[in-house]
C-alpha cells in the first residue's frame, strides 16, 4: 500500500507536463517496474492515471501514462471495494500537500524578492444553509474543471480543500 501511495503522488508530481512509461516512473521513484505497472492499474481504476499513448521503442511497445485531468472526489459515504485505498490516498495526499506548503514557506522566507502572488493558508468556520453549501461546492468544482489541464501561461498550484458540516464538532 505504501508503494501505491508514493506512486500516486509521484505520478502527479512528475507527469504534470509529460507522459511517462512504467520504467521511467520506476526509475524516478526507485520502485520495481512490475510494482509500478500493478499500481498504475489500480490508479487507472480510480481515474487518477490514464494511458496517454503507446510507442515502439527499440522494438518494444511502450505505454506512456499521465495524470488524468481529474478532481479527486472520494465519495467517502460509499463503502466500495476501494474505500480503504481512498482513505489512505486522502491522508497521504493531504500530508504531502501540507509538507509541500511548509517547504514552500521555508523557501519563500529565504527569498529577497517575494512573488506578486504567493501561497496561503485559510481556515474558518462558515455558517451555510444546505443550499449555500451546495452552491459553494458547485462553484469550487466548476473552477477546478476550468483549470485542471496544464496551460502554457500557467503554473501548477497544489490546492487541497476540505469541507464538511462541523455542527457536531462545535460547542452549542
Integer CA distances (angstroms), 140 to 67, 71, 143, 161, in order: 20, 11, 5, 9
Give the helix, strand, coil percentages of the chain, each rounded to 5.
45, 10, 45
Would you say the pTM of this structure is higher than 0.75?
no
Query: Do 106 and 119 contact (CB within 8 A), yes or no?
Result: no
Does domain 1-67 fall into CATH 1.20.58.1610? no
Which three cell numbers mark 103?
Answer: 517547504
Mean pLDDT, contiguous 10-residue spans, the chain (172 residues): 57 64 84 85 83 92 85 72 78 85 91 87 92 95 88 84 80 60
For the chain, the structural domain boundaries read 1-67, 82-111+119-147
Amino acid at each position: 500500500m505504501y508503494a501505491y501511495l508514493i506512486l500516486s503522488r509521484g505520478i502527479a508530481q512528475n507527469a504534470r507536463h509529460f507522459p511517462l512509461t512504467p520504467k521511467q516512473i520506476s526509475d524516478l521513484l526507485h520502485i520495481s517496474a512490475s510494482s509500478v505497472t500493478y499500481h498504475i492499474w489500480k490508479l487507472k481504476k480510480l481515474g487518477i492515471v490514464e494511458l496517454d499513448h503507446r510507442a515502439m521503442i527499440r522494438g518494444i511497445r511502450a505505454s506512456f501514462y499521465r495524470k488524468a485531468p481529474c478532481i479527486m472526489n472520494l465519495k467517502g459515504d460509499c463503502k466500495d471495494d476501494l474505500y480503504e485505498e481512498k482513505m489512505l490516498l486522502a491522508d497521504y495526499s493531504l500530508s504531502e500537500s501540507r509538507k509541500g506548503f511548509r517547504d514552500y514557506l521555508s523557501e519563500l522566507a529565504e527569498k529577497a524578492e517575494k512573488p506578486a502572488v504567493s501561497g496561503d493558508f485559510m481556515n474558518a468556520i462558515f455558517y451555510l444553509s444546505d443550499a449555500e453549501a451546495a452552491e459553494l461546492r458547485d462553484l469550487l468544482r466548476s473552477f477546478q474543471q476550468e483549470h485542471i489541464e496544464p496551460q502554457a501561461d500557467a503554473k501548477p498550484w497544489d490546492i487541497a480543500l476540505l469541507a464538511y458540516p462541523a455542527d457536531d464538532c462545535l460547542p452549542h
